Amino acid sequence: MTKVLHCAEVVPGCAHTMEGETEDEVMQQASAHAASEHDMTDISPELAEKVRSRIKDE
């Protein structure tokens, strides 16, 4: 089953979607996307947990 994260669930208005085989793979993509598209380079543990909680199975 594919893991999916819709960025809009964390950053309203962003249409980017990340997919991967594992949560860790999606989190790596989310971190790279946050840095390149949202200028977010310092991700707090709280934000990381919020992002991880939005990853769904599809």
Q: What is residue 51's predicted lDDT score, i.e. its pLDDT?
A: 97
Instruction: Report CA 40 to chain centroid distance, whole Å.
Output: 12
Q: What beta strand segments (E) does 1-58 contain?
A: 3-6, 17-20, 56-57
Q: What is the CA radius of gyration of the chain?
A: 10
> Which letter does DSSP use for residue 30 in this model?
H
Between CA 16 and CA 6, with CA 32 as vertex, the angle to 5 degrees is: 25
- Residues with pLDDT less than 50, the chain: none
How many whole angstroms separate alpha carbon 1 and alpha carbon 41? 29
pLDDT computed for residue 28 by the predictor: 97
Domain residue ranges in the chain: 3-57
- Amino acid 29: pLDDT: 98
Q: Which two tokens stand for residue 50?
A: 């919020």
